[in-house]
Amino acid sequence: MDETRKSCSGREVNLDVSDEACCRFGFACGDRFSLFSGELGIVAGVGPINPSNDAGPLTLWYELDQHGGCITFHYPLKEGDLRPV
């Protein structure tokens, strides 16, 4: 299942919000987490690190509570960067 969201830089990002895609990163779409910095957020889905290149590397995109609805990512995402809450 695909969904289009706006990144914090203003670009449109096509995300795969399926459980199968998000499960590869240990989460489901909509899961709440704490970032390694302590910020809280919600998983938005899986998409390319470069929104203009759908064939590029994929990563987990998320919305941080203080970002007002835009999505961002951390790449490369390492184990422990996001902790379920």
Q: pLDDT tens digits, residue range 35-73?
A: 988 999 999 999 999 888 777 889 999 999 998 889 999
Peptide bond before residue 76 is cis, with ω within 30 degrees of 0: yes
b or e along 37-69 (b: 16 or more beta carbons within 10 Å of the residue's beta carbon)? eeeebebbbbbbeebeeeeeebbbbbbbeeeee
pLDDT at 73: 93
pTM: 0.90
| CA quadruple 30, 61, 5, 58: dihedral sign | negative
Domain range summary for the chain, segments of one domain joined by +: 2-84
